[in-house]
Structure 1
Amino acid sequence: MYRHLDDSNIKSKGCVSVNVLVLGGSGFIGSNLCETLVQLGHHVKIMDRSMKKTDFNFTQIEFIEADFTQIEDFKPILQGIDIIYHLISTTVPATSNVNKIYDISSNVCSTIQLLDACVQTGVKKIIFLSSGGTIYGQTEVNLIPEEHPTNPICSYGIQKLTIEKYLYYYNHEYGLDYHIIRLANPYGKGQIGKNGQGVIPIFIRKIMNNEEIQIWGDGSTTRDYIYIDDATQALCMLLEYKGDCKLYNLGSGQGVSLLDIVNCISEVVNIQAKIRFMEARSIDVKSNVLDISKITKELHWEPRKKLKDGIYQMYLDIK
């Protein structure tokens, strides 16, 4: 699953090693993030409800197997931790409306317990992975800036926005430092498309197997896709960021429709896709492309992997 990442964009002279806890570190985003953190020389601890240690090539990582929603006291887990990456969400956008009470209680209430423990144990900073795809709701602009009104149309987006507000409150009330990353749609190595997440790996496998693809709507739905290495590089750069900015969009800044994705995959694998169009879903916004000018300026970061190159790399990994 892993390969050496040699990228000067995330390395800096005199990088100070810190103790990092990654909540949800065995998932797609988390495992790639942990790989990069270890390569940068940081001490990494992962907390997740299930994991296979053999999936990781790094003996330096400490594993804690625990259910985020069942922890009554986070303080023992946070002892000695400098910075937390909070990547856990118990729901996904497509299913969050089914049980809204669970969506809110398992994510928001558990995070408040975590924040209380952060204050009590002296955690220096928490970096929260929010959702650039659901926070803003329906928009009329080509590129969505962080200042755009937030009107999520699914419970998933509402709980992410609620946690963002609590982070602001804990900073104001207790001085707990934080950063919020409103992430676009990440894709890349290690993504398997389970639970209906990750249209790119799902489409690649179906097209390779000559299976029918289901598309909700007419295929014109437009999203922002970012390769996982680009995303984790930006996340790691926040460890040393000393500026005042707390909230960032993180994506490619480029809009791509579902039909564009299908056509690109078909070209890469040299197989014509079979498509069945389904009735559009109420939870899907028509277009969501993030303005990334703020994070590009503040962190001196920019996405490097082109979509076709990323799809080709995923195709090689899957094949």
Structure 2
Amino acid sequence: MGLLCCANVSRLRAASLIRSDTLPSANRVFSPNCNTPRQPDQAHSDNRLILALHHHVSDKRNNAMHIMLIGGGGFIGRALTQQFLNSDNFVITWCTARDVSNPPDNIHIVNDLLERSTHEQDALLMDVDVVFYLASNTTPSTGAADLAHEIEINLLPFSRYLTALIRQPDLRLIYLSSGGSIYDPANPLPATESAALCAQSCYASGKIAMETFLTNAYRHRPTDLMILRPSNVYGPGQPYKISFGFIRSALQCIREGREITLWGDGKAVRDYLFIDDFTTFCHLALSLEWPDTIYNIGSGKGSSLIDICDV
């Protein structure tokens, strides 16, 4: 899918009376060195990360929000963790060894929430204000032959997490879906949040299925659920994966002195979103009312693969 129309973000801005210049910018400059480490005082030395232990969670000070990231060991999860820590919030990151490689010092790999009893789950969640569900172990390039894999590795754990989360009456949930893979390619552009959906991969099918389960589970409390459909997120810290993330792949080719391979004729227009803009939106969303459930998050500007190569 190409350009996204972030119509509900505009409604969110209007409903919350926040200035337009506090929302993410559409113009960003990116560096070929995607893996440039953050400065020590930003990335690894911050000891405010609260580990997933209940006696830490229940220690609320200065009205700080308690934020839980499920699947927080990946590219977006790490960036969100730093964003929230920089704002003096308390962050609990749940991830397993398969979720993260070379974890930074401030991400603690803990036993999965699902391995705990119902009582332990409720005790850990009772003081949490907002949960970000980021967990995903597949990519848009996953083919139709991987249906069973998608169900086993993403949908089944999701259903068990949702069962635990929906029991918490005061907890708000933000689910990370996809704006780049779930819309029908036949839709006129830019695609709005109400545009028709049409999965082109098992990854997209899983995202649509999880959105459906969520809207049903929260049908009696819709203002506690936010579904984010970001466009193609890129930026510092993004790992290199073959056939995933064109900007990151192109920068890897530049670093290694290889030619950049274009998919198709290179003229397909897509929306690209800088990671800091996405995390800024997520931070702002914590303090706002949510008049809608689903939000497209994008730069509002489309670029073709050829455009990216010309930068």
* TM-score bracket for the superposition, by shorter chain length: 0.7 to 0.9
Q: 1:157 offset after TM fit, Å?
A: 1.1
1:224–1:256 Cα contact (<8 Å) kept: yes
Match of 1:228 among 261, 275, 284: 275
| Mapped contact 1:78–1:123 kept (Cα < 8 A) | no
- Tell me the distance in 1 between the aligned counterparts of 2:101 and 2:256: 28
* Candidates 26, 38, 53, aligned match of 1:2: 38
Corresponding residue for 1:165?
A: 212
Partner of 2:110: 65
Letter in 1 for 2:104: D
> In the alignment, is the contact (CA less than 8 A) between 1:96 and 1:103 conserved in 2?
no
Q: 2:192 aligns with which of 145, 149, 169?
A: 145
Residue 99 of structure 1 is aligned with which of 127, 130, 146?
A: 146
Larger mean Cα displacement after TM superposition, 15-24 or 243-252: 15-24
TM-score where L is the length of structure 1: 0.71
The alpha-carbon deviation at position 73 of structure 1 amounts to 5.2
The answer as to 2:193 corresponding to 1:154 is no
Deviation of 1:258 (Å)? 0.9
Matched, 1:80 2:127: yes
CA pair 53-151 structure 1, distance change in 2 beyond 3 A: closer
- If the length of structure 2 is used for normalisation, what is the TM-score? 0.73
Q: CA deviation at 1:241?
A: 1.4
Matches within 5 A, 1:207-226: 207-226=254-273
> Does the Cα contact within 8 Å between 2:178 and 2:230 map onto a contact in 1?
yes
Equivalent in the alignment of 2:166 = 119
- One-letter identity of the residue aligned with 1:251: G
Give distance in 2, aligned partners of 1:16 and 1:170: 29
Q: How far does residue 177 in structure 1 lie from its aligned partner after superposition? A: 1.6
Tell me how far 1:244 sits from its aligned partner. 1.9
Q: Which residue of 2 aligns with 1:245?
A: 292
- How much has 1:67 moved relative to structure 2? 5.6
Quote the RMSD (CA, aligned, Å): 2.5
Name the counterpart of 2:104. 55
- Which has the higher relative contact order, 1 or 2, with Cα contacts under 8 A spaced 6 or more apart? 2
Structure 1 residues 233 and 71: CA distance shift in structure 2, 3 A: same
Q: Distance in 2 between matches of 1:48 and 1:82?
A: 19
Following the alignment from structure 2 to structure 1, what is the Cα–Cα distance between the partners of residues 134 and 78? 11
- For 2:155, the aligned partner's letter is V
Cα distance change of structure 1 residues 73 and 153 upon mapping to structure 2, 3 Å threshold: farther
Report percent identity of matched pairs: 28
Q: Compute the displacement of 1:208 (Å).
A: 3.1
Q: Distance in 2 between matches of 1:230 and 1:46?
A: 21
Give the number of equivalent residue pairs.
250
Q: Distance in 2 between matches of 1:25 and 1:161?
A: 21
Specify the alignment match of 1:205 in structure 2.
252
Pick closer, same or farther for the CA change 1:164–1:140 going to 2, 3 Å: closer
Mean alpha-carbon deviation: is it higher for 86-95 or for 43-52? 43-52
Could you tell me whether the CA contact under 8 Å between 2:222 and 2:293 is conserved in 1? no
Q: What's 1:261 paired with?
A: 308
What CA distance in whole angstroms lies between the structure 2 residues aligned with 1:121 and 1:226? 32
Deviates more, 1:94-103 or 1:249-258: 94-103
1:43 aligns with 2:90: yes
Q: Identify unmatched segments of 5+ residues in structure 1.
A: 6-14, 265-319
Q: Are the aligned partners of 2:174 and 2:225 in contact in 1 as well (CA < 8 Å)?
A: yes
CA distance in 2, matches of 1:21, 1:53: 21
Residue 30 in 1 paired to residue 30 in 2? no
User: Which deviations, in whole Å up to 9, do the C-alpha atoms of 1:264-294 show, x marking residues without a partner?
Assistant: 1xxxxxxxxxxxxxxxxxxxxxxxxxxxxxx
